[in-house]
Amino acid sequence: METIHSKVDNIEMFEKIVSKIRSLPKSIIYNLINSEKITNLPSKDGFTIYRFLIQKDNSYLWNVAIENSFLESRLEEFTSLLKLNSSISVVDTNEKLVEAQKIIENFEIIALDTETYPYYPTIDGVVSKKPITLLSLMQICVSEQTSFKDRENKRKFCFVIDFMENINLDFLKSILISKKYIKIFHNASYDVGRIQEQTAILLDNVWCTMVAERSKLGEKKGLKLSNLAKTHLSIDMDKTLQQSSWHVRPLSEGQFVYSILDSTILLDIYHSQIEKGDYVGWYSKNTNNKKKKYLLDDELETQTVLDFILPDKDRKYVDWLKDFIISGNARSFQPSEFCLNGRYLINNVYDFSQDILALILNTDNIKTTYIFNGYSLNDLLIDFYIFCQEKEQPIERCLSCTNVLYGKDSLEYQKCFTCYNNN
């Protein structure tokens, strides 16, 4: 990634910079706002650094250092100029996410992309060899453009949401689940799946540029985003950073620019597909289907609610759980309390308890796809029962195997039925 540096300490240089900014199409030059939060920002005493991304065939960063004493007299003029161009904002607090929402909700077409990383949870004191895929970044881009032809003359507004901070995506939930907004992804099955797993948000009205291209070409090869960028935009994309360490901060300049370009390019590809016609890109996976992925083992197993039959011996704690959940006693529980050393990734314990209730009542009202790291549904019910019981009152456990004790006889001897008989 090439970076160009400009130093402004006189009127002639300032006018050259202003002239160049004005000459570039609005969707080509991006003012990077708050980018130092996740990338290194060069410093220069006595100067204010402005950072721009120039998105052309070969994109590059442009750092403009303006002398502070000179900038004071031209600040209002320069700030007004920047507002005429596209922008990229780093969102690393919920307050900034709320401000981003106020802009995003004004546009009905929204391009999204994610960057992820493998997380190896610690289970019972041992680091798992099976990683969980977690979100590092989510990039969102909206544009004033209404067609493919006017893309260069309209501003784009991009937001890089940093999930390595404590970000609550519920602030965008109303947009993500709404049929009013078209959400554009490339390979939507991956990105939509990751968002649902980590945030429990079920996206609706999704257009997948990969699905659209397949519908047109009738084949499965040559559908990478880089191929589509070349076909529709005559842009060569460098995808070498796709598998880089996205959880490490600060990001490199190359990583930061790479993450942004995917979402900006998606908007242009979408408009190109729509205007050319004969593209069908609606991502139609039924996220409320009864089939859910529950186990993360050598292969993901699938169970349906109707196939899940509770053993008779387990009805005692399941009946208790049903009454406990219906009574609303799970409302106050926090997700961090039910992590069980990385066994489960739970976003909202109350919503989670309602899904548990749906399992118990044998209905198809499960709202969320959960990934449980090698633990079965039966394990989950037992663990959640123990969790709820311990929140209510202390649990008696077997002195030999530490399993939860049931019944007067086992409590009297402080051993479970199996351990008592083996002795």
DSSP 102-131: HHHTT-SEEEEEEEEEEE--EETTEE-SS-
Chosen domain end from 249, 276, 303: 276
Residue 286: its pLDDT value, please? 40
Spatial CA neighbour of 373 closest among 303, 313, 300: 300
pLDDT at residue 93, as a whole number: 92
Same domain for 237 and 177?
A: yes
Q: What is the CATH number of the domain that holds 155?
A: 3.30.420.10
**Using an 8 Å Cβ cutoff, are 383 and 391 in contact?**
no
Eight-state DSSP code of residue 177:
T
Q: Other C-beta atoms within 10 Å of 59: how many?
A: 20
Does residue 406 lie within any of the structural domains? no
CA distance 7 to 285: 52
Q: 315 and 173, same structural domain?
A: no
Identify whether residues 204 and 252 lie together within a single domain.
yes
d(CA 63, CA 32): 10
Q: Are 200 and 367 in contact (CB under 8 A)?
A: yes
Contacts of 94 (CB under 8 A, 6+ apart): 166, 167, 168, 171
Q: 64-77 in b/e burial notation, b at 16+ Cβ within 10 A?
A: bbbbeebbeebeee
pLDDT digits (tens, 9 = 90+) for 372-395: 444 455 666 667 777 776 666 555
For the chain, what's the residue count? 423
CA distance 120 to 117: 10
- Among the three residues 276, 300, 322, which one is the final residue of a domain in this structure? 276
199 and 323, same structural domain? no
Distance of alpha carbon 190 from alpha carbon 285, whole angstroms:
12
Beta strands in 107-208 (DSSP E): 109-119, 122-123, 126-127, 132-143, 156-162, 182-185, 206-208
**Main-chain phi, psi angles of 31, to 5 degrees:** -85, 120
27 inside domain: yes
What six digits make up the tokens of 168?
């609550």
Per-residue confidence (pLDDT) for residue 374, from 0 to 100: 47
Q: Looking at the domain assignment, is residue 414 inside a domain?
A: no
| Same domain for 135 and 216 | yes
Residue 418 lies in a domain: no
Give the burial class of 200: count Cβ atoms within 10 A of its Cβ; 0-12 exposed, 13-18 middle, 19 or more buried.
buried
92 CB burial (10 A radius; 0-12, 13-18, 19+): buried
| Position 366, amino acid | I
- Helix/strand/coil for 271: helix
208 and 107 in a common domain: yes
Q: Which spans in 218-339 are helix H?
A: 225-233, 253-276, 315-326
Are residue 328 and residue 257 in the same domain, yes or no? no
User: CA 395 to CA 380: how far, in whole Å?
Assistant: 17
Helical (H) or strand (E) element with 251: none
Q: What is the pLDDT of residue 392?
A: 62
**Pair 11, 153 in one domain:** yes
Look up the domain containing 323 and give its range: 292-392
Are 298 and 244 found together in one domain? no
Q: How many domains does the chain have?
A: 2
Is the pTM value of this prediction over 0.75?
A: no
Give pLDDT tens digits for 280-338. Answer: 888 855 433 333 333 222 233 333 332 334 445 555 666 777 777 776 666 666 555 55
Q: 258 and 298: one domain?
A: no
Q: Which amino acid is at 78?
A: F
Q: Tell me, yes or no, whether 264 and 311 share the same domain.
A: no
**Does residue 207 fall inside a structural domain?**
yes
Pinpoint the alpha helices (H) of 277-415: 315-326, 349-360, 377-392, 408-413
> Is residue 175 assigned to a domain?
yes
Q: How far apart are CA 308 and CA 48, in angstroms?
A: 62
Q: CA–CA separation, 374 vs 278, rounded Å? A: 43
Is 236 a member of any domain? Answer: yes
The answer to whether 186 and 206 are in contact (CB under 8 A) is no
**Chain centroid offset of residue 163 CA:** 7
Measured between alpha carbons, how far is 237 from 259 in angstroms, rounded to an integer? Answer: 12
Q: Is residue 265 part of a domain?
A: yes
- pLDDT in the model for residue 158: 96
Q: What is the pLDDT along the chain (423 residues), one digit of tens a residue?
A: 688 999 999 999 999 999 999 999 888 889 998 888 788 777 778 999 999 999 876 788 899 999 998 888 889 989 999 998 999 999 999 999 999 999 999 999 999 999 999 888 776 677 778 788 889 999 999 999 988 888 878 999 999 999 998 888 888 989 998 989 999 999 998 999 888 878 878 888 999 999 899 888 877 778 999 999 999 998 888 877 888 889 898 988 888 888 888 899 999 999 999 998 878 888 855 433 333 333 222 233 333 332 334 445 555 666 777 777 776 666 666 555 555 444 455 556 666 677 677 766 655 555 554 444 444 556 666 677 777 766 665 556 677 766 655 444 444 556 665 676 666
* Same domain flag for 88 and 229: yes
